[in-house]
Structure 1
Amino acid sequence: MTDFLRKIHLVKDISIQLPVSKIDFIQKFRSHVDESDLSFVPFEVFQSSKNEYKGNISNNYFELKKRRKLFDTNYSFAKVTAHFSEDSNRLNIEAEINGFRKRMLLFAGPMVLFYSIFIITSLFLTSNNSASFFVLPFLLFHMSIMLGIPYFIIRRSVKRMIYDLERDFHYWVTKN
């Protein structure tokens, strides 16, 4: 399934090189990212923090995602998991940005089932009726909107996370 998600650009791999040591990066990460296990928090938008991200870091691995804010229209679905290593005073980060959550199947699965049932019934039960010429195009149009809008929002979230991550990491490293 991950290969399919990569093809439709809901999962991306990036590589970032930073001119910093591993120890300094871990220290800067901890100062700019709130410690969290990234589980679901019901009223996260009402928590205040000066940090833009929440996540956790270990010796060679980190996870992070953007903190949700009240009235924020930049939907932040993307989650970053990365491995990093130091090579001659240069930090190499290999990250995977994943915008798709398994809980989204609870939304997409019944919706695809719903639309497939209605399309099949409109094809077979009303095949001699002229109403099927109006129902089928409307159903296809409605399906493309209901499945297309979340897809493009998640895809934009992944692209935005790539941009923000590269920008913020370089800012953390160059800022004194």
Structure 2
Amino acid sequence: MQGLFRKIRLITPLVLHFSIDKDQFIQRLQPHVAPPHINPFGRLGRIFSPEVAPYTGIINTDTVQMKPRAEENWAFAPSFRATLLPDPAGVRVEGELNGASLHVVAPALLYSAFILFVLTVFVSQTGKMTFLNVIMLLLAFLFQGAFLVGLPYFKTRRGMQKMANDLKRDLFYFVERPVQSPNS
């Protein structure tokens, strides 16, 4: 299944290099990633949230899992999973953006089941259907497919491109301009 999502570009590899060591990278990234599930009210609850981090996720000593916090539509936001690898020049962040969420895959699967059902009914009614009815049915399938499968797919692809650019920019900004502690 991962191979299929790679082919339709819902999973994109991403490799970044930083000139600081792994521990320092984790220390500088941590203030910008809030723990997951601290806000049960979604976008509305962000107003009342004590965390102002732009990302939510988990940072371990060897892995990073994060997702942008809800600003627009949370359902189509891709997630980023990466492994932190030591590099002679610093740290290498090697991971992938994953946009294959249930919000994208479920409509496609449900629509496929619907098409199979309608086609079986269509095959059983072949003697009673006119050419105009067949053309109207095929056009209806085309428009429904574009709406139920095409729109979520293109919204996810655009979100992945945006997140890839934002993630690269943000990670370099977080590493190059660390948060100053009040004691320094």
Please indicate the TM-score interval, normalised by the length of the shorter structure. Answer: 0.7 to 0.9
What corresponds to 1:138 in structure 2?
140
C-alpha distance after superposition, 1:32-69 (max 9, x if no partner): 11122xx6965221123321100111111110001113
Structure 1 residues 161 and 12 mapped into 2: Cα distance closer, same or farther (>3 Å)? Answer: same
Equivalent AA in structure 1 for residue 19 of structure 2 = P
Q: Which structure 2 residue ranges, 5 or more long, are not aligned?
A: 179-184
Equivalent AA in structure 2 for residue 136 of structure 1 = L
Structure 1 residues 127 and 29 mapped into 2: Cα distance closer, same or farther (>3 Å)? Answer: farther
What corresponds to 2:83 in structure 1?
83
Question: Which aligned runs of 4 or more in structure 1 are off by greater than 6 angstroms?
Answer: none
What corresponds to 1:43 in structure 2?
41
What corresponds to 2:182 in structure 1?
none
Structure 1 residues 62 and 148 mapped into 2: Cα distance closer, same or farther (>3 Å)? Answer: same
Task: Please state if 1:150 is matched with 2:152.
Answer: yes
Percent of aligned positions with the same letter in both sequences?
26
Structure 1 residues 127 and 15 mapped into 2: Cα distance closer, same or farther (>3 Å)? Answer: farther
CA contact (8 A) 2:63 2:84 kept: yes
Q: Which structure 1 residue ranges, 5 or more long, are not aligned?
A: none
Distance 2:6 2:119 in 1: 28
TM-score norm. by structure 1 comes to 0.85
Distance 1:100 1:175 in 2: 32
Distance 1:81 1:52 in 2: 16
What corresponds to 2:68 in structure 1?
66
Give the C-alpha shift of residue 111 in structure 1. Answer: 2.0
CA contact (8 A) 1:68 1:76 kept: no
What corresponds to 1:159 in structure 2?
161
TM-score norm. by structure 2 comes to 0.82
Give the C-alpha shift of residue 88 in structure 1. Answer: 2.7
Deviates more, 1:98-107 or 1:10-19: 98-107
Distance 1:85 1:147 in 2: 37
CA contact (8 A) 1:85 1:93 kept: yes
